[in-house]
Amino acid sequence: MEVGENTAALEVATTFEELGLAPEILGALRDMGYSIPTPIQKQAIPLVLAGRDLMAQAQTGTGKTAAFALPLLQKMVAHASTSTSPARHPVRALVITPTRELAIQVHASVVDYSKNLPLRSTVVFGGVDMKGQEADLRRGVEILVATPGRLLDHAGSKMVKLSQVQFLVLDEADRMLDMGFMPDLKRILDLLPTKRQTLLFSATFDDSIVGLAKSFLQNPLKVEVARRNTAAELVEQVVHNVREDDKMDALLRAIKARDISQALVFTRTKIAADKLGRRLQKRGIQTGIIHGDKAQVERLAALDGFKQGKVQLLVATDIAARGLDIVDLPCVVNFELPYAAEDYVHRIGRTGRAGASGLAISLVSPEEERLLVAIRKFINRDLVETPLPENEPPRQAAVAVPAAVPAAVHSAVIEQPDATQPRTGRLQREPVCALLLPPIKPVQSNHNA
Ligand code: AMP
């Protein structure tokens, strides 16, 4: 059989009850407000329950975590034990993710879904002390979520035994390959029993993923909910042509005019993320920065601040933002277009998640036109350039400007919109920063030329 026999027609159950999940799991889902399964959940859950290996093409935001976590919990219900003996809690399900942030997020979901069951889970990732993780592992856990390197460290020091793993999930497998984790994955696979069920989730199914599936999966079925070149349907995509030097003002104008309370802002490089983040902070905007060179504590603090609404703009690079699940994220801004058109789809998939609508704003300089052309081709959609929206006049004029205050930080008051307004949700109406938005020179659009 060809790798990944397609199961597109398989979407029978329409409720979680019909999927045959245990009352403890159904109760947890009710508490979380999940009423109906998402398409990937409808397709994947019955197949996982039936014991099949799976290649699932689903991006973050489609509900893919529950698509694997729920049936795996269901399959482990029989092993759930209140015993305190570590021997009664061997690792049965191993979930491997490319990034720490995704690992933390997946684990948080597992904790939520399993809260009514005596099944233990933990998460291990690099960049933090091993000790706390070791204590959890020693107690015994049925579900282990891990990034590859740290998992191998723990396995190497015999802190974790993987010989009883029955279920392996490779989450965001495409990104794991992009990040060069193939050798680590091979080493991990060598530690696992060959008789196991393996589920591979990936946003794309290119040749390298098919190769991975051939070597790690047995007779897998293929499910898919979003095609490689389908940009999230619910995301409104806006393009503004802006000169490179005017981008920061354009960013502020674009979000202010639309009353956007929070946005995830993408740059291509860590250096650009740092630079933009610092400039925004100097302007008095609550800005977090998240990229691969930031210490783990800094990344988590930035993410937490953003989730709690303390941070208005989170500036991120592609890899750092991968897998971030921020509920109700209203807006993504491409401050710089990505070099790989595919990353555009990943970026805009950060908003408009699980049925919510979202907005993706791209600030495109003349130098980036060719990247825009590639993105249009990739998503098979004409992204039309629109002029930057006008800002309303400031509600409160600055009374006096002390001589020492930099020219850019004095004249207008930007308001955090009311939590009841669209695309908002967290912050109260209060002045958060003073901004001067100088006029932005129009840029001649040449994409239709
Ligand atoms: P994921 O693709 O797993 O990262 O999930 C994206 C978001 O959708 C998360 O915030 C989940 O909590 C949420 N979610 C997953 N499944 C459902 C569902 N069936 N109903 C409502 N929200 C869901």
Question: Residue 10, SS3?
Answer: coil
Of ligand 1's listed atoms, the one at least distance from the Cα of 327 is 10
Of ligand 1's listed atoms, the one at least distance from the Cα of 34 is 20
- Going by pLDDT thresholds of 50, 70 and 90, the confidence category of residue 377 is confident
**Pocket probe mutation, ligand 1, options 45, 68, 109, 324, max atoms within 8 Å of Cβ:** 109
Distance 184 CA to ligand 1 centre (A): 29
Beta strands in 203-292 (DSSP E): 221-224, 235-241, 263-266, 287-290
Contact 185, 147 (CB under 8 A): no
Structural element, H or E, at residue 113: helix 100-113
Kindly report, residue by residue over 389-419, the tens digit of the pLDDT: 876 544 433 322 222 222 222 222 222 222 2
Instruction: Output the DSSP codes for 333-395.
Output: EESS--SSHHHHHHHHTTSS-TT--EEEEEEE-GGGHHHHHHHHHHHTS---B-PPPPPPPPS
Strand partners, 343: none
Residue-level pLDDT at 14? 76
Kindly report, residue by residue over 2-47, the tens digit of the pLDDT: 455 544 444 456 789 999 999 999 999 999 888 888 888 989 999 9
Residue closest by Cα to atom 1 of ligand 1: 63
Residue-level pLDDT at 224? 80
Contact 433, 414 (CB under 8 A): yes
- Ligand 1 and 352: CB distance under 6 A: no
Residue closest by Cα to atom 18 of ligand 1: 34
Residue-level pLDDT at 322? 65
Kindly report, residue by residue over 40-71, the tens digit of the pLDDT: 898 999 999 999 999 998 877 778 999 999 99
Residue closest by Cα to atom 20 of ligand 1: 34
- Report whether pLDDT(283) > 60: yes
- Ligand 1 and 38: CB distance under 6 A: yes
Report the distance separating Cα 259 and Cα 418, nearest Å.
Answer: 9
Residue-level pLDDT at 308? 86
Residue closest by Cα to atom 6 of ligand 1: 61
232 or 151, which is more confident:
151
**Alpha helix (H) residue ranges in 191-269:** 207-216, 247-257
Tell me the whole-structure pTM to 2 decimals: 0.60
Identify the structural domains of the chain with CATH numbers, from first to last: 5-224 (3.40.50.300), 235-410 (3.40.50.300)
- Ligand 1 and 60: CB distance under 6 A: yes
Contact 67, 45 (CB under 8 A): yes
Average pLDDT over residues 97-119: 95
